[in-house]
Structures are given as structure tokens and as C-alpha cells.
Amino acid sequence: MNLQAIIMDTLQANAGHALTFDDVVKRVAESLEGDIRATLNDLTDRKWIERHVGGRDHPWRYRVPPIERRI
């Protein structure tokens, strides 16, 4: 991922007007949504992270599995 190139593409696509920081962040995140989803699925498949599905119309939640401590 080349973040600089993504930001430049975002700004060039909207060259008609200036964007705020929040606008840039939102548009960069939108452009990365597919990659982020694929990476989260891959990490879940590898058991590096856990995904909790709360049911219909509930957002998925992700976390790193808790560390098991031996006493």
C-alpha cells in the first residue's frame, strides 16, 4: 500500500475544491475498504484475531485473542 499515492489520487480526483483533513481520511478509508475487509478475513482465518458477530444488523467486532496466562 502506497498511502502517499492514494492521498494524491484522492486530492487529484477532487481538484475542483479543497478537502478538509476529515474529507481526505474518509475518502482514503473508502478506497481501502476492500483491502481492509480482505485483511481482516485473512487474519481471522489464521486465528490471529477473533471476530464476534452479534447477529442481524449488528456490526462485527474484532479483537486480538486474550493471552492465556499460566499460574
Write down the domain spans for the chain.
3-63
pTM of the model: 0.70
Q: What pLDDT is attached to residue 34?
A: 93
SS3 string, the chain, reads CCHHHHHHHHHHHCCCCCCCHHHHHHHHHHHHHHHHHHHHHHHHHCCCCEEECCCCCCCCEEECCCCCCCC
Q: What pLDDT is attached to residue 20?
A: 95
Residues sharing a CB contact under 8 Å with residue 29, sequence separation 6 or more, in sequence order? 36
Residues sharing a CB contact under 8 Å with residue 1, sequence separation 6 or more, in sequence order? 32, 35
Residue-level pLDDT, tens digit, the chain, 71 residues:
689 999 999 999 988 889 999 999 999 999 999 999 999 999 999 999 999 887 788 888 999 988 888 77
